[in-house]
Amino acid sequence: MTAHWMRRTTLAVACAAAALLSACGSSSIESALTPERLVAFGDGYSAAGERRYTVNNGSINNWTLQLLDYYQRAGHTPSGLVNMAEGNARLSAHPDAAGQASTRTVTEQIDQFLAKQTLGTNDIVLINAGISDLIVDMAAVQAGTLSREQFTAQARQHGQALAAQVRRVVAAGGNHVAVSGTYDLGRTPWAAAIGQQDLLSQASSQFNQGLLVAVNDLSAHVLYLDVAYYVNLYTSTPASFSFSNATTPVCTSVDTGNGIGIGTGQINSSLCSTATLVSGADADRYVFADAVYLTPSAQRQLGLYAYDKLRARW
């Protein structure tokens, strides 16, 4: 009974933190903030390099790029997007989710930025993490080296570790920090393929709760972007977001290596282009590009969500 009460109390605290960190205003309020730069740290969800984890079709296909575009179209002129995010990056551990030791962790991305640059008063900092760490830990569960209970407990610790990096950015002068945890990996084609929907949902929730509770006192400078809620809407009511397929990937770009960390011989959207789509498919009607990552349409809509939240808050 005590453990059940404590779980309910923790969840209530996390929900209250989410409300405080993500609320305050509506998108109809004129923003007082004219951002000087957008600075992004994170993993494949935010990575906007040459090969992005989505359909590489020449469109605005990453939420950070969409966010920049919306600010520019609104007459705000950020000097640009400094995107340090890297695909498969973990919070602080090596190797990355795909087994590569050279990928900078989110912590190292922040290290590198702060070693050479300072944050301006009107910079907007975007931070995300969690996907890669949960992929690595899920592999350990499948290998029998991590129990289910250890997996969910460790997921919460990862969320707290992300919160420590958010706190560090605020201490370094980050006045406007928007942080995203992980979306619900239990809703992904990957979870369905390995039969671990419930466990991955629990771990995703624990990660986000650990993050939220640990940054609750930073609400003056931190905005929580509830990507999990939004992607859950994609998968539960896809037609409301102009999707017709929320269960299977639109890409066919199979990677012989462990490209996104879920095993060899899997679809890797960073290799995906208009030439490697399901025959006759409209990529904008799909939620998932591969078994983990999102399509350009899903990314763009998350960029609009982030823009509305940021303008309503600051």
pLDDT per residue over 130-166, tens digit each? 999 999 999 999 999 999 999 999 999 999 999 999 9
**Kind and range of the H or E run holding 256:** none
The residue-averaged pLDDT of 275-287 equals: 98
Answer whether residue 210 shows pLDDT above 70. yes
Q: What is the pLDDT of residue 12?
A: 45
Pull the structure tokens for residue 129: 């993490």
Pull the structure tokens for residue 232: 């859950």
- Cα–Cα distance, 143 to 137 (Å, whole number): 10
Q: What is the pLDDT of residue 13?
A: 46
Q: What is the pLDDT of residue 31?
A: 61
pLDDT band at 30 (very low <50, low <70, confident <90, very high): low
- Cα–Cα distance, 294 to 312 (Å, whole number): 25
Fold of the CATH domain 10-237+296-313:
Rossmann fold (3.40.50)
Answer whether residue 24 shows pLDDT above 50. no
Q: What is the pLDDT of residue 75?
A: 74
Q: What is the pLDDT of residue 22?
A: 57
3-state secondary structure of 137: helix
